[in-house]
Amino acid sequence: MSLVIFISLLLFVSIPYSLSRVSGPLNPIHKSFLDCLSTQSPQPDPSFPSIVYSFAINASTYTKTLEDHLRNRRYNLTSTPKPVIIVTPKTESHVQATVLCAKKLGLQIKIRSGGHDYEAVSYVSTEKNFMILDMFNLRKVEIYIPTETALVQAGAQLGELYYRIWEKSKVHAYPSGVCPTIGVGGHISGAGYSNMLRKYGLSIDNVIDAQIVDVNGKLLDRKAMGEDLFWAIHGGGGSSFGVIISYTIKLVLVPKVTTVFQVEKGTEPNVMDVIMKWQEVSPKIDNDLFIRLLLSPATVNKKTTVKVKFMAFFLGDSNRLLELMSKTFPELGLKKEDCLEVSWLESVLYWAGHDVNKTKPEILLDRQIPTNYFKRKSDYVQTPILKQGWTAIFNKLIELGGTVGMNFNPYGGKMSEIAANATPMPHRAGNLYKIQYSMNWMDPKVTEENLKNGRVMYEFMTPYVSKNPRGAYSNYRDFDIGVNSGDGFNSGKVYGEKYFKGNFERLVKVKTVVDPDNFFRNEQSIPTSSKKR
């Protein structure tokens, strides 16, 4: 099935998810895979039948496993291609044997650590024979406060990591995503960022080791894999190069008291002046402060308008924050009563949308979240947008009927100090902020309209964002910017340079060395230098 047809089906089919298109009742692949696992295991392992699922053999477990980590309902339709088998490894040796057997049986591997990937590249494929390697059983988290490090397996979610850090220390943290149910493997391998990026950089800037199973089934740490592959898998996407088992990360220090706030602005006359000042100061203000700007569609008196919100995290108490804001950003009008002093872990709950006074930290161990239909896109802004530009943006959001929201995340600070080629993620110095475009909906009948409006807004923003190439954030997967059409390097370069700029060529070189036959592949993976699929 071509990708164009595949995406078209996703846009127009809106009936509930079904498993009717899985391989026939005998599912010979299931038996062949189990037989192969036994031959590839260094010793007899009676647990193999309990980690391999297919609809024909153990339908209820297959269905539950498949759907437990489905996040985007656009990829949960009757027409959605489904894996012939799902493997849920419990040990590193299970992963090693799975890789070897997938190669032998000609199955494409989709590696899922959490399922938050925006285009479902970890659990849907345009290829006929694919399987899911679901890493949720490999979620060990070990915290070492004396060395200020932690080992976290790929199947753990960020909330689990944060909770385990909090158990051991109230003054340590890890700079990573604000959504607790994101899987560690995909998040870190794709760069990872948090509301501490201006202080501590990206998640990958705080990684010191890793374990990966390569295409030959070998388990490698940083020393064994070499610096080129280690460089590639922290920021270049791990699933292009192998199966990430774990990362060893550096913990960072946080004060016992941090401060959060949200300030909303209506349609008052000076709202554009406040935004202009935010644009000026947010990338160069104190590195302890991160202020996100959100433009959200809203309806007032039956008319579409734009709600303006400033959401912040500060590594310090409210007195110091208020003093800082009065000197650098008085236009926001921040007051003492706007500020909430919390621990770092409570700030995680706050940013995840929880009431910190009523929510117990244990909620971070909950791996389930509601799902909806959504689409995301991204951009980088390198030149300040003029006031008339902001007015035009507001007008366009209103014209689109409240279907598109925009989040603006400031850079500067530590992000401007790290070289663009230090990791595969190149979008560092020179960027004022990153934009995420958000389209969310619950009615599948409006899918086509919402996707169209997202593309319209993205096209409208062309004059205001980075160019040659127009940058994009690789963890915000977006098929609109290009997919691998089967010709390898040529189509891969289209999206690859947007995600990785000049680092794309080095990623291709690493890929060609460690996986020359392009076994680890997906719709936006790093290609080899040849024209193989």
- What pLDDT is attached to residue 485? 86
Rounded CA gap, 533 and 522, in Å?
10
User: pTM for this structure?
Assistant: 0.93
- Give the least confident one: 180-194, 201-215, 373-387, 476-490: 476-490
**pLDDT value for 494:** 95
User: 235 near 191, Cβ under 8 Å?
Assistant: yes
pLDDT of residue 26: 52
**Average confidence score pLDDT of the chain:** 93
pLDDT at 176: 97
Sequence-separated (6 or more) residues with CB below 8 Å from residue 8: none
Give pLDDT tens digits for 422-442: 999 999 999 999 999 999 999
Min mean pLDDT across 62-71, 195-204, 493-502 is at 62-71
Q: How confident is residue 531, by pLDDT bands cut at 50, 70 and 90?
A: low
* For residue 172, pLDDT beyond 50: yes
pLDDT at 16 > cutoff 50: no
Indicate if the pLDDT at residue 335 is higher than 80: yes
In percent, the amount of the chain with pLDDT more than 70 equals 94
CA distance 122 to 139: 17
pLDDT in tens, 237-296: 999 999 999 999 999 999 999 999 999 997 777 999 999 999 999 999 999 999 999 999
When pLDDT is cut at 50, 70 and 90, the band that residue 302 belongs to is confident
Q: To 10 degrees, what angle do helices 92-105 and 28-40 make?
A: 130
Average pLDDT over residues 31-38: 95
Q: What is the mean pLDDT of residues 321-346?
A: 98
DSSP calls for 71-136: -BGGG-STTS---SEEE--SSHHHHHHHHHHHHHHTPEEEEESSS--TT-TTT--SSSSEEEEE-T
Confidence (pLDDT) at 303: 84
- The residue annotated as part of the active site, out of 433, 476, 495, 499, is 476
Told to judge if 476 belongs to the known catalytic residues of this protein, a careful annotator would answer yes
